Amino acid sequence: MTAQIALTRPRDDQGLPARLARSAAARHGVSGSLEDFHAWFARRRAATRFAVDRIPFGGLDGWYFRDDTGDLVHRSGRFFSVGGLRVAVGDPPTATWHQPIIGQPEIGILGIMAKEFDGVLHFLVQAKMEPGNPNLLQLSPSVQATRSNYTGVHQGAAVRYLEYFTQAEGHRVLSDVLQSEHGSWFYRKRNRNMVVEVSGDVPPHEDFRWLTLGQIAELLRYDNLVNMDSRSVLASLPADVTPRALHSDTELLSWLAAMRSAHFVRTERIPLRSASGWTRGAASIDHERGRYFSVVAVAVQAGNREVAQWTQPLFEPRGEGVVAFLTREIEGVPHILVRARAEAGFLDTVEFGPTVQTIPENHAHLPPEKHPPFLDVVSGVRPDRVRYSVLQSEEGGRFLNAVSRYMVIDADESMAPLAPPFGFRWVSHGQLAEMARHGHYVNVHARTLLTCLNALAARAR
Domain boundaries, the chain: 14-460
Selected residue with higher pLDDT from 156 and 61: 61
Selection from 390, 417, 267, 400 nearest residue 330 by Cα: 417
| DSSP strand pairing (403-410 vs 321-330) | parallel
Residue 373 to residue 146: CA distance in whole angstroms = 36
Report the CATH fold assignment for 14-460: Nucleoside Triphosphate Pyrophosphohydrolase (3.90.79)
- Compute the Cα dihedral for 385, 391, 397, 398 and give only its sign: positive
Cis amide bond preceding 92, omega within 30: yes
Q: If you average pLDDT over residues 273-291, what whole number do you get? A: 97
- Compute the Cα dihedral for 140, 143, 148, 149 and give only its sign: positive
Residue 118: pLDDT above 60? yes
What pLDDT is recorded for position 384? Answer: 98
- pLDDT one-digit tens code per residue, 246-269: 999 999 999 999 999 999 999 999
Selected residue with higher pLDDT from 460 and 210: 210
Residue 461 to residue 458: CA distance in whole angstroms = 5
- pLDDT one-digit tens code per residue, 414-430: 999 999 999 999 999 99
Selected residue with higher pLDDT from 310 and 3: 310
Q: If you average pLDDT over residues 305-317, what whole number do you get? A: 90
Q: Which residues contact 169 (CB under 8 A, 6 or more apart)?
A: none
Q: If you average pLDDT over residues 94-117, what whole number do you get? A: 96
What pLDDT is recorded for position 14? Answer: 63
DSSP secondary structure string, 21-84?
A: HHHHH-SSBTTB-HHHHHHHHHHHHHHS-EEEEEE-GGG-SSEEE-TTT--EEETTS-S-EEEE
**pTM (predicted TM-score):** 0.94
- pLDDT one-digit tens code per residue, 23-63: 999 999 999 999 999 999 999 999 988 999 999 999 999 99
Mean pLDDT estimate for the chain: 93
Q: Would you place residue 305 in the very low, low, confident or very high pLDDT band (cuts 50, 70, 90)?
A: low
Residue 372 to residue 321: CA distance in whole angstroms = 13
Neighbouring-strand partners of residue 226: 139
What pLDDT is recorded for position 9? Answer: 43
